[in-house]
Structure 1
């Protein structure tokens, strides 16, 4: 590529991953790894590692091994999350623990984490220690976020600040790390890499809040998974948190009835709770909060001493996430 294109970068990375065997025997250990990587996804996080490098060095392909490490790590977390959630599908395909069994999925996930380290450790020796320290911090935070998410399931109430912190850990820090790792590989100073990470974390927060909105309001044909899944499971998203705070009288009574119902028609529950959200203006509130984090990310770019055309690549990525409808 003569210039940087995020989709092309994602395809380049997908092709590189396709070439990898990761290991040969036992096949039941490595085939699930290859399977989950093959079913794809948008490859945004590893593509951001390549973009982070390109911001400071046009030879962004030198960040490919690290980007593959980021993607392997991300899929490791998804594989284990699916076990915990007892999810039957991932990206429209049967999940690893369903296709094989939970024990295979746990062990294959474990080896994915090892492989993620192998690829990330291919960075230049002068940034190796920093890269591993940053990866360790990010990996631990992702686990913390997942635990908070599970803890929230057993709590009656969750505050907005608590929810924001949970999604920062579970989702946003990996986006920030992916960009910062690429920037360091490209020769950024530590201060420059921190600004890039700040941008990534904030658009990551905006991205997750937008995802919560889409879970309720997306076109089912575009969304790729069940619309209203968060409502069905009573997931304490920002939308439900605010609905519980704002609902009064009949709305509060109806909302609590649906939350406490043990048996219900899924479509009826989704429609009823969505109507409550509509009456309370919850979508607008969540959209405003999502936009606030995107704005924080864009504002961080003002601190970045880079040519405007390179900063524009980051702005375009943020706008893409902001405007997506699935």
Structure 2
């Protein structure tokens, strides 16, 4: 039975991690969050220690380690800008870090974390859940066995959010990394995983609620569109009362992967516990890509590079 601690217990993504810890037969020893609305812990690990101050949480981890009761992993569900600090805290407390995406905001942070891995002997793992999606794993296998030129890919992801989003840390670029980083990083990882390194990046629109552009990868040309604005939802999706729309087409053929998302975090946890999870090298390409998107000058799309959802 692996022992976990967790940071960001009151956050949106924490329940998926709590479920994954439970589903893998592990236990949660302690949790951290500056906000004390963490009654969710009672549904999974009511005996877990809880702290609101990181200094006391860190001391607990070190004291537990000296008693021979240290944790094996720290699950990091805190806001994006705290990931780097919480990873370092975990490694120096003798635990591996299992961090939500984006693992960090800047690619140079990955290089620095590899140095901390070497110093401590710990490992940094991350959640790249689309790599664990059965339909996408099958598709990658099929694409890997085919030869030919570059594929034409359209990626559309709309996940409606209320006014709270832009008033929270997620709406502040210096804390979240911006829209492409916060809601899109796992899609860029999936694209690089399937089609090879990203060779060219264009950004056609970048606002608080929309980010769109064009990528050229080793084996694909990708028109991409991300938004939290529900007015971009296709009419048939809105008519069904749905507030999320994700679509990937390859050479005009829709890739069906709308199902199978429920237990992806648990599957990533299983792989991590088996030593087969996703580490710093795996996530580097996606982090470097979202950093380029964040800072790239806006350009107008040329023929064939503009996404169909772009508005004048």
Give me the TM-score of the superposition, normalised by structure 2: 0.29
Question: Normalized per residue, which structure has more strand?
Answer: 2
Give me the TM-score of the superposition, normalised by structure 1: 0.28
